[in-house]
Structure 1
Amino acid sequence: MLYDIHSVPDKYKFAQHSVGISKESYRDGVNKCNMIKRVRPDNKFIRTSNPRFVPGTKTVILKNGKILNEKGEFILGNITLKNGLIHDIGSNLIDEEDAIIIDVKEKYITPGLVDMHSHTGVGAWPSLRATNDVNEKTDPIRPYVRTQDAINPSDLGIRIIASGGVTTSLVLPGSSNLMGGEGFVIKMRPVNTLSVDDMGIYANIDPEKERAWRWLKMACGENPKRNYGAIGRIPSTRLGEAWLFRKLFAEARALKRKQDDWCEAAEKLSGDDQLNSYFPEEFRLESLVALLRGDARLNVHCYEAYDIEAIIRHSLEFNFNITAFHHALDAYRITEIIKKRVKNNITIATFSDNWGYKKEAFQASTKSPKILADAHIPVALKSDHPVINSQTLIFEASKANYYGLDEHLSLAAVTSVPAKALGLDHRIGKISKGYDADVVVWDSHPLALGAAPLEVYIDGIPQFNTSSSVLGNETSKQIPSNNINAFIPKSNFTRKPFKSRLTSSVVLKNVGKIYVDKNNIIDITSSTQGDISVIVKDGIVECIGINCTEPDHISSYEVIDLNGGYVLPGFISVATSLGLAEIKSESSTTDGTVTPVSNPNNAEGLIYAIDGLKLGGKHLEAAYKAGVFTAVTAPLSSKGVFVGISMAFETGASSVLDYDPEPIVKEHVALHAQIGTKFKYTTIPTVSGQIALIRKTLIMNLRKDNIFGRAANGYIPFVVETHNKDEIASLIRLKIQVRENGGNLNLVILGGIEAHIHAAELARHNIPVILIPLRPVPSSWSAQHALTGAPITNTTGISILHANKVMVGIGVKESGLERNLIWEAGWAAINSKGGISEKDSLGFISWNLEEILGLNSRNRRLMKGNIANFVAYDGNPFDMSTRVKVVAGGGKNKILIDPQQD
């Protein structure tokens, strides 16, 4: 019997037309009711098989490894990988004829890393318009699109990411929309079928036994309102964002109630009776209803405190859980709001030190992970790949540890914490019996600078076929130094908290090594007797070396025991916007973007960066506290060929009118240009046109006394940004052509991802390279020959250039990351297999750049009678448990003790 909608109580009335429906349609509705009311598996069963297991995979026994256990401790033992699972952990070895037994000789073994915020596959490498599927930017509300339908299993990034030890990634839509869609979790193991479904974490599972979660992505704050406000659509403000959120959640809640009412009405019927209306559905709201029913996990891109609170407010109004706030660089400021106003434990999936690139990221703190952890809020570290190359995810944990998060929590932030937030902590994120056989064997402690996987197992399958002889090699990677052994991390909680303070007079005692410059090194190992000391009085160096006498009135000095630490010259930052932009996305905080000069006769139209210099900003302060004393900055440009003339200045200065010392190191450093596809614009729409313009301009001005002529004759360096091997080859030819016309072009390559291909020719023609980034990836069509490092490539671009005697420097890709320059230099040395020495690597960020760019820093050297200019560490700076103790640069009375990064 059909029940007309009018014959049931009002609470069961629906908007659908009162027409008869088929029995099949009614049964389909009842089945959906049953699915709604079903008991979900709790995933607490003992796993005896991995549904992703590939038949024929041999059992692997990793013997004598330092295994990260569930308590976060490294214990010596064996681990057996069998049937795609961690079969056993302990001292016993199973007796299996075909088992592969590898003695890893106390190498560190961790679970596979878990990246809970990635765009790999939907933003595939090399980046092309045809394969960019990150955002469906046609409407701010797109909760129903799915990354599963767009992941490219042939993305070059997948293997590169796996080479960093990442075995699982949550691939999310981007943050252009308020409701961006549904994410998909994949294992970073390519499959022969080229099937995205087969890469999925839930491939082949039994849904009656294992609960399969869904993952939604939403965003708030700057991105959605910028994207849609710019075209006159809502949201253009946070007011509009909140309205759209509430509108859609209200619609989803109403639909959920209709479904529940329909199911309740159907349940009251018996026999052949049925309702005469269809089960209420609206496909565009289906994923939101799943969230309200607790079947989906919500991940929200949110930075600012008030944005985070607004989303929490929506969750309380509409009764849904938030799984994680992503990025959330303000979360450390509102721990009580996050803890007290929500019923579930929200994870903060954040960066360790990425900051300052927009207003939302401007008030970030390096102490954030520790503050959150101290408040018992789970902290995950993620990449936002390709914002940060997910291959380097372990380095995010290393930096978090450096800034105060303890070793156990730093490792958990890239393993067990994100696994739990994804609802997958029953199978990944830990080394435990019955878990997926996703493990990483590291060449050194995973939190050590430069740590890299020797082998990565996913579902028990080795991804890089590393030979047993390499895995069992007894030589552990070491910091390249004569007096520092292999790195063993120290707990940051054993360190006394220090307070930053200024002084003008200081005594550094028990110094281990001083690098005055590349030709002058004072080393304790070469001293016959006595300690190495540095004495500075009223900002002037009084003594340096082993014959320093303790000064009179020692109580008026700040005395620092370096415990064998290092004293280095200040570092140089090249190619960021330091001094010209504080928040690059906010035009009111920048000098502005230059108008391209495309007329060879218009040298007067070039912009000089020195005229726009602003001092005293947060970016400069962060760089200064890390020992980056000199910045070389060109005018800001996004298109065109000729950029303008760069400047060099002291980061610690407060005004261009400071005269102690003069803050301007060099007013006019180099003429800058840029070539490549991303710099095309209407006037010069081709790369060939860009190179032709440079050739014509330089040769036409050879006999003229203008900036073009000075560059053509080598009186000022000509710095050209490019990555592509063919463009670099064309520039080498260009230098030859200028020489044939009587010039002497002092060409410098900036960027240079593919420069290693022409290393011999670059050396032959005396062309230096300033590498940016140091650790490249094939992210663009013009950089497909990037060398990504072990275990994929057995060498790196910088190693090849250095071995061919090319003068090399290291630059910085983004402002805010200048403070990591010392670690970039250390990575280059540590991963060079002995080809790059400690001294060589320090030159990449100091004296090499001085030589390349013609900066005379003699008056800034650590020499008797000079104003103090150095950075001092309490150990080897390549050891990530070492801290900056003293920075002295920027003036007589500006010696900062125990500088603290914000």
Structure 2
Amino acid sequence: MDVKRSYMTIGRANREENSFSYRHGKLVVFPLLIIFCSLLISIALGFPEVSRLNDVPQGFDARLRATSERYEPGTNATLVQNAKIWTGSDHGKQVIHGDLLLHQGIIKAFGDIPKHILDGIDKDQLTVLDAKGAWVTPGLVDLHSHIGVGSSPQLRGAADTNSLHGTIQPWLRSLDGLNTHDESYRLSIAGGVTTAQILPGSANNIGGQAFVIKLRSTLERSAISKVIEPPHTLNGTTFAQSTPPRWRHMKHACGENPSRVYSATRMDSIWAFRQAYNEARKIRDAQNAYCTRAKDGDWEKLGEWPEDLKWEALVDVLRGRVKLAVHCYEPVDFDGIVRLTNEFEFPVASFHHAGSAYLVPDLLKKVYGGAPAVALFASNFRKKREAYRGSEFGPRILADNNIRVVMKSDHPVINSRYLLNEAALAFYYGLPANLALSSVTTVPAQAAGFDHRIGHIKEDIVVWDSHPLTLGATPVQSFIDGIPQIERPVVSLKPDSFQELPQTPNFDKEAAETVEYEGLPPLATRHEEEEVLFTNVRNFWVIEDEEIVDSFSVGQSTRRSLGSVLVQKGKVTCVQNAGQPSCINQENTDSMKRIDLEGGSLAPGLTTFGSAIGTDEIRLEPSTNDGPVFDPLQGPIPKIIGEDGFLIRAVDGLQFEGRNMLLAYRAGVTTAVTPPTGYGFAKGISAAFHTGATNALEKGAIIQEIAAFHVGINKAGAASVSTQIAALRNLLLSSAVIAHVASVQGEIPIVVHVENADIMATLLRLKDEIEAQTGGKLRLSFAGAAEAWRLALAIGKADVGVILTPSRSFPATWDQRRILPGPPLTYDTPLTVLFKNNVTVAIGSENEYDARNIRFDLAWRLWILSGCPGI
């Protein structure tokens, strides 16, 4: 990045509102009507009143703003000193060392701030924050979120993401369902997200209008007070037409989601789009004809103003007044939308999800008005057919083809608190650093039409504890409209090296293969080399007495003194630490393969737990999966299975060489522990297996046929919690169960998938009861366990293990609502609390695609642990 010292200040001016008004169906001022109609006619001729090349509304000049209209009187000014300011300018390459002044809801100046500006602020109304060289960025912008409409915790009374009353519904508005008490707001702000576009869901081809909001609570506490520049059409079509226009937003969707809900094919969907736009075109053309008659002075034939409240928003799409967000995954869907935009001549602001967009960049450029931005996940692919060809290299490939890239959350699909992690992962897989940071700041702001106020150093900022693209970068403070959002923030401890841009691998070959094989490059495992010499090894971790230890460590020594490890026929035969004899001799010099780790480490393979990896290939395609087990609490088990049929074994349904499995294997995850897929009480018996195996008969493929016996207990089950506990008690006292899994004798553990602390307390009491009756020891573990931290002391004393799945808690359900969020909101995390109370803890992944990234999650947790005294 280019590092400069700069000075910027923002002057003052007052904007005047035009008081003229126009009411539909009644001529108030003839000249005003002619002006209004002139605007509409110019739009029809291709000159929209809001230029598609310049998104800044008429009359808005950031340089002349004295006060934000969102400023709350009484808010202190804030001076951030000694910061590295990533401004978002110069294609994301500009960094300025200096200070930054927030005052009256906007950034007044940054860089070297003149004394006279500070002298104009009362010292009692100025807060000084010494950043101590920390990074400052604009507030993060999430272009695709359902926060507030898909609220957390998930409750029926706050589920407003989708309407099921029709596939074409441009008249619906996400704002009308926006819950101001979503638990996610404070969590997302704690991740640096200050702005989000709240989209309707994707069950409909046209799901309705979207709204861009600031996430902070307002004094008014209303939904509308969160909206940036509310459209003038928000509460009707009667408003001062001479007022500078404001952007509107709308959601479209194509592909599988509308098809699943309405049993419609892609042919049905495109026809529904065309029919809707044809209705809108008729109204637009009638309005243009009306204005032509008005301009010609043909008052007698003027008639009534043509309008229809249901279609007015779609008419505005045709007039270029709406930023359109389109959910599309596959080339066939992009092609249909591209043709639609050219048939009816309207632009698209952004394609979303867009898993296969990287395969058709030239097609995207044919959208009417130019190529949209593309909003992507970093690695959330392969869970449905249309996402199966999605690639972690997609963002990089699109950027190489001059397509603007946005990283998004689809909150709560991905907790938007970790939106920045999506950008960091995209950077790891090859998206340039400047574009990775831009993908969650400037580019989504541009796509939403608000980069005149957000996405750059203009209104909202975040101060980070480390370089924003380092693993686990966490806000020290988030400011929205000049107001600090995190009360008493906890600053995580990171080494100085975390202030620098991380090094990443070179994935040129993998990215090229992804395009060559149209998203499905071969992943088959390779046979072991006869001899492999790993050189420049910093750490060599091995398992000794059930603990992982570093057999040698050379700390921060020079490259010349790093060690070597020789592997022959899959076994380590020589370890050379600094100063020891070489592992190379004349006999093996020519035949061996050499791999330079460049200061990296060798370690035992990782184990993944928690997802359906190995039993589900494409989660939402039943024909590719093992399928769910029978649950005795939801209905009778077929007699042919036998009386103990709920003890289904995952080993019988394993399938190897799945893409998620092999990608995980390539990322160092060599073992998976997977139970059968179960959504209720009964889950069955898990198996442990080798992720790199080709089939179950291969030597070493099945590591353990019976790993654990799994049940699930939660408030959303088919029966009451007390009924589920009674069923578990009966199972544990049943001789048939003891014969099958020998849980009470301690041969294998029982894993209870549970989130709620009260249920865990009951399970601890049940453990005591069973052990008292049987005289044996019950090996018990909790999986999921979002609220386990609340019972950490009791869990530790009971010798019960915990598998945090996921390791970063989120209050998705009522059972998970009492989470411990960790920095910057709390000092501790569930992991640190459990460790402090001597609980054996593991971490897991809920999603199959996440298994390949478990090493990042592990490292993230370890950095938090490293700052926790006594651990």
- Is the Cα–Cα contact under 8 Å of residues 686 and 706 in structure 2 kept in the other structure? yes
How has the CA–CA distance of structure 1 residues 597 and 28 changed in structure 2, closer, same or farther, with 3 Å as cutoff?
A: farther
Offset from partner CA, 1:229-273 (integer Å, 9 cap, x none): 1xxxxxx21111111111111111111111111222233236xx4
Q: Which amino acid aligns with 1:720?
A: V
Tell me if 1:534 matches 2:565: yes
CA distance in 2 between counterparts of 1:322 and 1:704 reads: 59
What is aligned with 1:53? 71
Structure 1 residue aligned with 2:551, among 516, 522, 545?
522
**Aligned equivalents of 1:337, 1:120: Cα separation in 2:** 31
The 5-angstrom pairing of residues 741-760 of structure 1 reads 741-742=773-774, 743-760=776-793
1:544 is aligned to 575
2: distance between equivalents of 1:504 and 1:593? Answer: 42
Shift of 1:274: 4.3
Aligned partner of residue 227 in structure 1, secondary structure: helix
What's the offset of the Cα at 1:424?
0.5
Question: What CA distance in whole angstroms lies between the structure 2 residues aligned with 1:720 and 1:405?
Answer: 40
- SS in structure 2 opposite 1:564? strand
Contact 2:709 2:751 in 1 (8 A): yes
From the superposition, tell whether residues 313 and 761 of structure 1 become closer, same or farther in structure 2 (CA, over 3 Å): same
* Counterpart check, 1:237 vs 2:265: yes
Q: What displacement does 1:520 show? A: 3.1
5+ residue gaps, structure 2, are 1-21, 40-48, 51-56, 233-239, 514-522
Name 1:883's counterpart in structure 2: none
User: What is residue 634 of structure 1 aligned with on the other side?
Assistant: 675
Which residue of the partner structure matches residue 260 of structure 1?
288
Higher alpha-carbon deviation: 42-51 or 294-303: 42-51
Q: Aligned partners of 2:378 and 2:445: how far apart in 1?
A: 18
> Distance in 2 between the 1:375 and 1:712 partners?
60
What is aligned with 1:768?
801
Quote the residue 1:610 is aligned against.
651
Partners of 1:395 and 1:268 in 2: CA distance: 58
* CA drift at 1:148: 1.1
Shift of 1:365: 0.9
1:526 CA drift (Å): 8.1
State the shift of 1:834 in Å: 2.0
Query: Identity over aligned residues, as a percent?
Result: 36
Name the structure 1 match of 2:463: 441
Aligned residue number for residue 248 of structure 2: 214
For 1:877-892, what aligned pairs fall within 5 Å after superposition?
none
Moved over 6 A (4+): 28-33, 204-209, 493-496, 498-502, 526-530
Aligned ranges 1:220-369 → 2 under 5 Å? 220-229=254-263, 236-269=264-297, 273-275=299-301, 277-369=303-395
CA RMSD of aligned residues (A): 2.6
1:163 paired residue number: 190
Distance, in Å, in 1 between the alignment partners of 2:471 and 2:768 is: 41
Which residue of structure 2 aligns with residue 137 of structure 1?
A: 164
1:118 corresponds, among 145, 149, 154, to 145
Separation of aligned partners in 2, 1:414 and 1:353: 16
Which whole-Å CA distance do the structure 2 matches of 1:768 and 1:128 have between them?
A: 30
Length, aligned pairs only: 786
* Post-superposition offset of 1:417: 0.2
Residue from 768, 771, 781 that aligns with 1:739: 771
Q: Secondary structure at the match of 1:563?
A: strand
Task: Summarize deviations over 1:387-412 as a string: whole Å, max 9, x none.
Answer: 00000000001001100011110000
| Residues 454, 466 of structure 1: 8 Å contact kept | no
Amino acid at match of 2:826: T
In structure 2, distance between residues paired with 1:429 and 1:780? 32
State the Cα distance separating 1:281 from its structure 2 match: 1.3
Provide closer, same or farther for how the CA distance between residues 318 and 647 of structure 1 changes in structure 2, counting only shifts above 3 A. same
Match of 2:108 among 87, 98, 101: 87
Flag the structure with more relative contact order, 1 or 2, with Cα contacts below 8 A and sequence separation at least 6: 1
The Cα of 1:795 is off from its aligned counterpart by 1.4
Choose the corresponding residue for 2:698, options 636, 643, 658.
658
CA distance in 2, matches of 1:247, 1:145: 18
What do the CA deviations read for 1:594-614 (whole angstroms, capped 9, x no partner)?
111358993244211111111
Distance 1:652 1:199, change over 3 A: same
1:711 maps to a residue whose letter is S
Q: Please give the alpha-carbon distance, in whole angstroms, between the structure 2 residues aligned to 1:254 and 1:329.
A: 34
Which string of whole-angstrom CA distances, capped at 9 and with x for unpartnered residues, describes residues 101-155 of structure 1? 2221101100000001100111111110001000111211111100111111111
Does residue 388 (structure 1) correspond to residue 414 (structure 2)? The answer is: yes
Contact 2:536 2:597 in 1 (8 A): yes
Q: For 1:477, which of 488, 491, 494 is the aligned residue?
A: 494
State how 1:838-849 maps to structure 2 within 5 Å: none
Which residue of structure 1 lines up, in the alignment, with residue 615 of structure 2?
580
Decide whether aligned partners of structure 1 residues 208 and 721 sit closer, same or farther in structure 2, where only a CA change above 3 A counts.
farther
CA distance in 1, matches of 2:246, 2:868: 49
- Partner residue in 2 for 1:715: 747
Structure 1 pair 24–521 and aligned structure 2 pair: CA distance change class (3 A): closer
Match of 2:828 among 783, 795, 801: 795
Partner SS state of residue 855, structure 2: helix
- Post-superposition offset of 1:51: 0.9
What code does the residue aligned with 2:494 have?
K
Amino acid at match of 2:721: V
In structure 1, runs of 5+ residues without a counterpart are 1-21, 230-235, 480-484, 841-902
The yes-or-no answer on 1:693 pairing with 2:727 is: yes
Q: Point out the more displaced range, 784-793 or 745-754.
A: 784-793
- SS at 2:733's partner residue? helix
TM (norm. structure 2) is 0.86
Separation in 2, partners of 1:712, 1:574: 23
Alignment of 1:586-605 (within 5 A): 586-598=621-633, 602-605=643-646
CA displacement 1:176-226 (0-9 Å, x = unmatched): 000000001110110121111111111699996754100000100000011
CA shift in 2, pair 1:712/1:419, >3 Å: same
1:476 Cα deviation after fit? 5.7
8 Å CA contact 1:829, 1:835 repeated in 2? no
Say whether residues 1:489 and 2:515 are aligned partners.
Answer: no
Give the counterpart letter for 1:557 in structure 2: M
CA distance in structure 2 between the partners assigned to 1:507 and 1:593 by the alignment:
45
| Pair 1:456 & 2:491 matched | no
Q: CA deviation at 1:533?
A: 1.8
Alpha carbons 2:744, 2:777 under 8 Å: kept: yes
Q: Is this contact kept in 2: 1:43–1:209, CA < 8 A?
A: no
Partner of 1:824: 857
Alpha-carbon distance in 2 for matches of 1:807, 1:192: 45
Q: Residue type of the partner of 2:80? A: L
Change (3 A) 1:560 1:286: same
Residues 1:227 and 1:507: Cα distance change in structure 2 (over 3 Å): same
**Which residue does the alignment assign to 2:598?**
563
Separation in structure 1 between the aligned mates of residue 23 and residue 536 of structure 2, nearest angstrom = 88
| Amino acid of the structure 1 residue aligned with 2:572 | V
Is the partner of 1:506 in helix, strand or coil? strand
CA contact (8 A) 1:111 1:415 kept: yes
Alpha-carbon contact 1:405-1:492 (below 8 Å) kept: no
- Aligned mates of 1:763, 1:476 — CA distance in 2: 27
Which residue of 1 is the match for residue 236 of structure 2?
A: none
TM-score by length of 1: 0.83
